[in-house]
């Protein structure tokens, strides 16, 4: 199994040492290497507005590869109907040619002959996942946000946002920035609101039953745009990455920064308060927000977690997509503060792009992540209807981040257990670039000599060059590692003008 280089986790950090004479030296430090985020190749548009109920906006194309079928759930709204939003559905055999099945579930324009699943006012699908341990009637699970209004402590099912805002206007306090209008609404009218995450279950991903009890109540904090849930087989838990905001609540808006928070538990529900896990930090521009999570499992590597957050650059009023990585789902790092999916379009530029789960194989060599692009900016400029078209962000497998030596470099991995087959490398070199590989004794502390194993030294290594996804490493033409099976070893890479993306040993 290939292990990707996404962070410094697999890299031996080196060690400072001193001999008995007090002379200091460095033991096997990494030299001349860096982590380099690899920008995606964008596909042609694979899904654009065609139907009347898609003519205002389409967004958030959530895709599952389910038994060889690409299945997509997405937001959509028509130019008519007062801006009502719907959950749409489409499916494909190859990820590029899509069909809109006639579901007969929701009326639009006087007919149910469409691919709409439900109205957002009934249940807003934010993400869909497959629960491997659920019964057949609950195999598919989804989450979505809902605002619950209370009058004098009792749920008021008739209250909606239009009425709630009118109550705010009736207080006469909206022009005074020193007064929290929502607090006045509660005091004068006994009305308040909470935001909750709803859950739904389905046997086919099309016909949904909304659970009576919310999965979690987050109070007044926001849950708009994108919220993502998944089942984690390593922990046996359900997890949810939610929209959040560090804020001082004022009126009906928020003055803080958007961020990502996490909750979950052993059950699909009764979750505890969410905790912030990804926020704009001092390495970001002072005016950036983390807008959406786009959480995904890393394909084929258990316990490795990805986010493709949309980063909101407030002063430009634009959103592009970065990469975040985690080994436990709680502690997240970004290898670089640069877009992994850019705003470029066909001969132009989007104003905002937002990625959606999941990262799925498109063929034997490539992975794709769906994203929507719209040409209008977040805060200003005319909207160009219909808003939103869907593309794939595409990488060759395991090539999200490179361990790169722009000139010459050397790096040693932390110890691994050799499986006894062959050492395989996913790499790319520039012109005149090269890679040589050693298998060495594992680095330990206190520091001892790290020496190449007999028969696997750099002097005996055959030079690697070119562009290979799964190249067998050889030493004087030999690749067999049977003699090392079950032993703890490390790998030392010598590189020049080269990128290494992943390795299997």
Supply 24's token pair.
Answer: 């200091």
Mean pLDDT of 336-340: 98
Report CA torsion sign: 282, 286, 289, 293. Answer: negative
Q: How many residues appear in the chain?
A: 505
What percentage of residues in the chain have a pLDDT greater than 70?
97
Taking residues 59-65, what's their average pLDDT? 98
Beta bridge pairs of residue 244:
259
Q: Is residue 37 within 8 Å of residue 5, measured between CB atoms?
A: no
Q: State pLDDT tens for residues 213-269.
A: 999 999 988 899 999 999 999 999 999 999 998 765 544 455 689 999 999 999 999
Helix (H) or strand (E) holding 164: helix 161-170
Q: Which of 195, 231, 232, 230 is nearest to 216 (CA)?
A: 195
Helix (H, G, I), strand (E, B) or coil at 424: strand
- pLDDT class for 486, splitting at 50, 70, 90? very high
- What tokens were used for 253? 């808006």
Q: Is it the case that residue 83 has pLDDT exceeding 70?
A: yes
DSSP labels, 165-195 = HHHHHHTT-TT-TTS-HHHHHHHHH-EEEEE
Q: Secondary structure of 255-307 in the HEC alphabet? A: CCEEEEEEEEECCCCCCCCCEEEECCCCCCCCCEEEEECCEEECCCCCCCEEE
Residue 358 preceded by cis peptide, ω within 30 = yes
pLDDT tens for each residue of 146-180: 999 999 999 999 998 889 989 989 888 888 877 87
Q: What is the mean pLDDT of residues 269-295?
A: 97
Relative to beta strand 389-396, strand 360-361 is: unpaired
Q: Which residues, in sequence order, are CB contacts of 454 under 8 Å at separation 6+?
A: none
Distances (CA, A) of 476 to 429, 455, 463, 503: 21, 9, 10, 20
C-alpha separations of 144 from 73, 141, 228, 354, 371 in Å? 13, 11, 9, 17, 19
Average pLDDT, the chain: 94
**Is 243 in contact with 263 (CB distance < 8 Å)?**
no
Alpha carbons 216 and 85: distance in angstroms, whole number: 23
Structure-token match 């089942």, residue found? 231
CATH of domain 3-38+401-504: 2.60.120
Reduced to 3 states, what is the DSSP secondary structure of residue 51? coil
Helix (H, G, I), strand (E, B) or coil at 140: strand
> What span, in angstroms and rounded, lies between the C-alpha atoms of 491 and 143?
43
Q: Cα separations (Å) of 209 from 44, 84, 242, 494?
A: 35, 21, 21, 56
Is-contact 240 227, C-beta < 8 A?
yes
Condensed to tens digits (0 to 9), the pLDDT of residues 35-44 reads 999 999 999 9
Return the H-helix or E-strand segment holding 161.
helix 161-170
- Residue 23, both tokens: 């002379």
Q: Which of 328, 150, 168 is nearest to 232 (CA)?
A: 328
pLDDT at 373 over 60: yes
The per-residue pLDDT for range 2-13, each reduced to its tens digit, is 999 999 999 999
Instruction: Judge contact between 16 and 26, C-beta under 8 A.
Output: yes
What are the pLDDT digits (tens) for 127-149? 999 999 999 999 999 999 999 99
Q: What are phi and psi of 234, to 5 degrees?
A: -65, -35
What does the block give as tokens for 251? Answer: 């009126």
pLDDT digit string, tens, across residues 412-469: 999 999 999 999 999 999 999 999 999 999 998 776 788 999 999 999 999 999 999 9
Q: Distance between CA atoms of 95 and 63, rounded to whole angstroms?
A: 9
- Percentages helix, strand, coil for the chain (3-state, rounded to 5) are 5, 45, 50
CA dihedral for 457, 460, 465, 469, sign (positive or negative):
negative
Question: pTM for the complete prediction?
Answer: 0.95
Strand 57-66 and strand 416-417: the pairing is: unpaired
Structure tokens at 336: 């670089």
């Amino acid at each position: 199994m290939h292990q990707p280089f996404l962070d410094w986790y697999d890299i031996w950090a080196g060690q400072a040492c001193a001999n008995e004479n007090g002379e200091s030296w460095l033991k096997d430090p990494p030299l001349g290497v860096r982590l380099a985020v690899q920008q995606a190749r964008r596909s042609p548009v694979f899904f654009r507005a065609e139907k009347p109920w898609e003519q205002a906006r389409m967004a958030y194309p959530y895709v599952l590869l389910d038994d060889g079928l690409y299945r997509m759930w997405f937001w959509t709204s028509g130019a008519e109907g007062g801006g009502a939003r719907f959950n749409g559905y489409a499916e494909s055999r190859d990820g590029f040619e899509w069909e809109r099945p006639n579901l007969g579930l929701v009326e639009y324009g006087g007919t149910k002959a469409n691919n709409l699943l439900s109205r957002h006012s009934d249940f807003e699908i934010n993400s869909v996942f497959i629960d491997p341990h659920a019964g057949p009637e609950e195999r598919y699970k989804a989450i979505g946000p809902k605002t619950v209004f209370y009058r004098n402590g009792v749920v008021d099912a008739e209250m909606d946002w239009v009425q709630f805002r009118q109550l705010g206007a009736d207080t006469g306090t909206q022009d005074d920035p020193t007064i929290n209008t929502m607090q006045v609404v509660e005091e004068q009218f006994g009305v308040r609101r909470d935001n909750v995450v709803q859950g739904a279950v389905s046997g086919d991903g099309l016909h949904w039953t909304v659970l009576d009890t919310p999965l979690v109540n987050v109070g007044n904090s926001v849950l708009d745009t994108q919220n993502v849930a998944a089942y984690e087989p390593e922990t046996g838990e359900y997890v949810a990455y939610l929209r959040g905001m560090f804020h001082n609540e004022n009126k009906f808006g928020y003055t803080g920064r958007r961020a990502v928070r996490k909750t979950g538990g052993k059950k699909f529900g009764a979750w505890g308060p969410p905790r912030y896990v990804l926020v704009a930090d001092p390495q970001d521009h002072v005016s950036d927000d983390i807008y959406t999570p786009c959480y995904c499992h890393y394909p084929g590597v258990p316990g490795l977690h990805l986010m493709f957050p949309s980063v909101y650059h407030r002063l430009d009023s634009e959103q592009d997509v970065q990469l975040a990585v985690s080994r436990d789902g709680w502690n997240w790092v970004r290898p670089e503060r640069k877009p992994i999916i850019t705003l470029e379009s066909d001969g132009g530029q989007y104003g905002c792009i937002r990625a959606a789960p999941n990262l799925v194989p498109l063929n034997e060599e490539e992975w794709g992540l769906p994203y929507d692009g719209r040409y209008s900016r977040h805060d200003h400029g005319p909207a160009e209807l219909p808003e939103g078209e869907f593309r794939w962000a595409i990488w060759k497998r395991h090539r999200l981040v490179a361990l790169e030596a722009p000139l010459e470099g050397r790096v040693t991995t932390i110890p691994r257990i050799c499986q006894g087959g062959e050492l395989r490398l996913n790499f790319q070199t520039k012109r005149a670039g090269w890679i040589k590989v050693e298998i060495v004794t594992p680095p330990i502390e206190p520091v001892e000599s790290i020496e190449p194993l007999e028969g696997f030294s750099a002097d005996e290594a055959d030079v690697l060059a070119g562009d290979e996804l799964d190249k067998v490493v050889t030493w004087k033409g030999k690749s067999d590692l049977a003699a090392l099976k079950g032993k703890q070893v490390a790998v030392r890479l010598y590189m020049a003008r080269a990128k290494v993306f992943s390795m299997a040993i």
